[in-house]
Amino acid sequence: MANKEYNDESITVLEGLEHVRKRPGMYIGSTDERGLHHLVWEIVDNSIDEALAGYGREIIVTINEDNSITVEDNGRGVPCGMHQTGKNTMEIIYTKLNAGGKFGGNGYKTTGGLHGVGASVVNALSSYMVVTSYRDGKIHRMRFENGGKDVSPIELLGDTRKTGTTVTFKPDPTIFTTTVYQYETIKTRIRESAFLIKNLKMVLNDKRSKKQETFVYENGISEYVAFMTSDKKPIHPVAYFEGTYKVPETTEEIEVEVALQFIESYSETIVSFVNNVKTGDGGSHETGFKSALTKAFNDFAHKYNLIKAKDQLEGTDIRAGMTAVVSVRIGEKLLEFEGQTKGKLGTPSAKQAVDIVLSEKLGYYLVENKNLAEQIVKKAIKEAESRAAARKAREQARMDKKDKGEKNISAKLAPTSEKNKEINELYLVEGDSAGGSAKQGRDRRYQAILPLRGKVLNTEKANADSALKNEEIATMIYTIGADYGVNFDLKKCNYKKIIIMTDADDDGAHIQVLLLTFFFRYMKPLIDDGRIYIAKPPLFKITKLGKKEEILYAYTNEEKDRIVNETKSQTRIQRYKGLGEMNAEQLWETTMNPETRTLIQVHIDDLSEAESQIEVLMGNDSNRRRDWLENHVSFTLEEDM
Ligand code: 28F
Q: Domain check: are 311 and 366 in the same one? A: yes
Rounded to 5°, the CA angle 531-534-535 comes to 120
Instruction: Give yes or no for residue 472 having a pLDDT over 50.
Output: yes
| Closest C-alpha residue for ligand 1 atom 8 | 78
- Per the domain annotation, does 108 fall within a domain? yes
Instruction: Work out the average pLDDT over 192-201.
Output: 95
The minimum-distance atom of ligand 1 relative to the CA of 72 is 1
Q: How far is the CA of 501 from the centre of ligand 1 (A)?
A: 54
- Per the domain annotation, does 549 fall within a domain? no
Instruction: Work out the average pLDDT over 618-633.
Output: 54
Q: How far is the CA of 50 from the centre of ligand 1 (A)?
A: 7
* CA-closest candidate to residue 293, choices 226, 358, 243, 364: 358
Instruction: Work out the average pLDDT over 373-383.
Output: 94
- Per the domain annotation, does 490 fall within a domain? yes
- Per the domain annotation, does 390 fall within a domain? no
From the candidates 50, 58, 73, 503, give the one annotated as an active-site residue: 503
The residue from 186, 215, 244 where one domain ends is: 215
| Closest C-alpha residue for ligand 1 atom 7 | 78
> Which distant-in-sequence residues (6+ apart) come within 8 Å of 512 by Cβ?
500, 502, 534, 629
Q: How far is the CA of 321 from the centre of ligand 1 (A)?
A: 43
If one residue of 42, 61, 62, 78 were mutated to test the ligand 1 pocket, choosing by the most ligand atoms within 8 A of its CB, it would be 78
pLDDT for the residue 546? 85
DSSP E strand boundaries for 405-476: 425-430, 447-452
Q: In this structure, what CATH number is given to the domain that contains residue 268?
A: 3.30.230.10
If one residue of 76, 85, 140, 162 were mutated to test the ligand 1 pocket, choosing by the most ligand atoms within 8 A of its CB, it would be 76
Task: Supply the mean pLDDT for the chain.
Answer: 86
Are 257 and 357 a contacting pair, CB within 8 Å?
no
If one residue of 136, 165, 166, 204 were mutated to test the ligand 1 pocket, choosing by the most ligand atoms within 8 A of its CB, it would be 165
Q: In this structure, what CATH number is given to the domain that contains residue 516?
A: 3.40.50.670
The residue from 369, 384, 399 where one domain ends is: 384
CA–CA dist 220, 205 (Å, integer)? 22
Return the number of other C-beta atoms located less than 10 Å from residue 91's C-beta: 21
Instruction: Work out the average pLDDT over 379-399.
Output: 82
DSSP designation for 223: H
| pLDDT tens profile 414-447 | 999 999 999 999 999 988 889 999 999 999 999 9
Are 527 and 561 a contacting pair, CB within 8 Å?
no
Q: In this structure, what CATH number is given to the domain that contains residue 108?
A: 3.30.565.10
Q: Domain check: are 75 and 205 in the same one? A: yes
pLDDT for the residue 625? 55
Proportion of the chain above pLDDT 90, given as a percent? 59
pLDDT for the residue 431? 83
**Comparing 265 with 535, which gets the higher pLDDT?**
535
130 Cα distance to chain centroid: 32
| Closest C-alpha residue for ligand 1 atom 24 | 101
b/e map of 41-50 (b: 16 or more CB within 10 Å)? Answer: bbbbbbbbbb
Q: How far is the CA of 79 from the centre of ligand 1 (A)?
A: 6
Q: Domain check: are 180 and 316 in the same one? A: no
- For helices 607-618 and 506-522, the axis angle rounded to 10 degrees is 140
Q: Domain check: are 229 and 352 in the same one? A: yes
* CA-closest candidate to residue 373, choices 325, 327, 313: 313
Q: Domain check: are 511 and 629 in the same one? A: no
| Closest C-alpha residue for ligand 1 atom 3 | 46
Q: How far is the CA of 215 from the centre of ligand 1 (A)?
A: 23
From the candidates 505, 549, 621, 640, give the one annotated as an active-site residue: 505
Instruction: Work out the average pLDDT over 465-492.
Output: 79
Q: Domain check: are 148 and 278 in the same one? A: no
The domain containing residue 626 runs over which residues?
Answer: 608-641
| Closest C-alpha residue for ligand 1 atom 13 | 101
Instruction: Give yes or no for residue 109 having a pLDDT over 80.
Output: no
Instruction: Identify whether 503 is a catalytic site residue.
Output: yes
Q: Domain check: are 495 and 588 in the same one? A: yes
The residue from 215, 231, 266 where one domain ends is: 215
Q: How far is the CA of 47 from the centre of ligand 1 (A)?
A: 8
If one residue of 40, 41, 50 were mutated to test the ligand 1 pocket, choosing by the most ligand atoms within 8 A of its CB, it would be 50
| Closest C-alpha residue for ligand 1 atom 25 | 78
pLDDT for the residue 604? 66
- Per the domain annotation, does 565 fall within a domain? no
If one residue of 46, 69, 169 were mutated to test the ligand 1 pocket, choosing by the most ligand atoms within 8 A of its CB, it would be 46
| Closest C-alpha residue for ligand 1 atom 6 | 78
pLDDT for the residue 491? 95
CA–CA dist 566, 554 (Å, integer)? 13
pLDDT for the residue 101? 47
Are 205 and 342 a contacting pair, CB within 8 Å?
no
| Closest C-alpha residue for ligand 1 atom 4 | 47
* CA-closest candidate to residue 125, choices 259, 25, 261, 227: 25
Q: How far is the CA of 217 from the centre of ligand 1 (A)?
A: 25
- Per the domain annotation, does 554 fall within a domain? no
Return the number of other C-beta atoms located less than 10 Å from residue 137's C-beta: 11
- Per the domain annotation, does 241 fall within a domain? yes
CA–CA dist 543, 630 (Å, integer)? 32
Instruction: Work out the average pLDDT over 118-138.
Output: 96
- Per the domain annotation, does 186 fall within a domain? yes
Q: Domain check: are 274 and 137 in the same one? A: no
The minimum-distance atom of ligand 1 relative to the CA of 44 is 2
Gyration radius (Cα) of the chain, Å:
29
Instruction: Work out the average pLDDT over 502-528.
Output: 82
Instruction: Give yes or no for residue 514 having a pLDDT over 60.
Output: yes
Instruction: Give yes or no for residue 635 having a pLDDT over 60.
Output: no
Q: How far is the CA of 551 from the centre of ligand 1 (A)?
A: 67
Instruction: Work out the average pLDDT over 161-186.
Output: 97
Which range (123-127, 320-324, 476-480, 571-575) has the least confidence? 476-480
Instruction: Give yes or no for residue 355 having a pLDDT over 70.
Output: yes
Query: Binning pLDDT at 50, 70 and 90, where does residue 637 land?
Result: very low
Ligand 1 pocket: which residues have CB below 6 Å?
43, 46-47, 50, 71, 73, 75-76, 78-79, 100-101, 106-107, 165-167
Q: How far is the CA of 194 from the centre of ligand 1 (A)?
A: 20
- Is the pTM higher than 0.75? The answer reads no
| pLDDT tens profile 220-239 | 999 999 999 998 889 999 99
Query: Binning pLDDT at 50, 70 and 90, where does residue 611 land?
Result: very low
Instruction: Identify whether 32 is a catalytic site residue.
Output: no
Instruction: Work out the average pLDDT over 257-275.
Output: 93
554: left (phi over 0), alpha (psi -120 to 50) or beta: beta
Are 422 and 446 a contacting pair, CB within 8 Å?
no
Q: How far is the CA of 81 from the centre of ligand 1 (A)?
A: 12
Q: Domain check: are 416 and 527 in the same one? A: yes
From the candidates 430, 460, 589, 611, give the one annotated as an active-site residue: 430
| pLDDT tens profile 25-80 | 888 888 999 999 999 999 999 999 899 889 999 999 999 999 999 999 999 999 99
Q: Say how many domains are in the chain.
A: 4
DSSP designation for 490: G
Q: Domain check: are 171 and 255 in the same one? A: no
Are 354 and 328 a contacting pair, CB within 8 Å?
yes
From the candidates 507, 581, 606, 638, give the one annotated as an active-site residue: 507
State the burial class of residue 462 (Cβ atoms within 10 Å of its Cβ: 0-12, 13-18, 19+): middle
| pLDDT tens profile 546-592 | 888 899 999 888 899 999 999 888 999 999 888 988 999 999 999 99
Instruction: Give yes or no for residue 528 having a pLDDT over 50.
Output: yes
Proportion of the chain above pLDDT 70, given as a percent? 84
Q: Domain check: are 132 and 35 in the same one? A: yes
Instruction: Identify whether 550 is a catalytic site residue.
Output: no
- Identify the three-state secondary structure at position 317: helix
Which range (122-131, 260-269, 370-379) has the least confidence? 260-269
Which range (33-42, 109-118, 125-134, 365-374) has the least confidence? 109-118
Q: Domain check: are 367 and 244 in the same one? A: yes
- DSSP-assigned beta bridge partners for residue 257: 242, 327
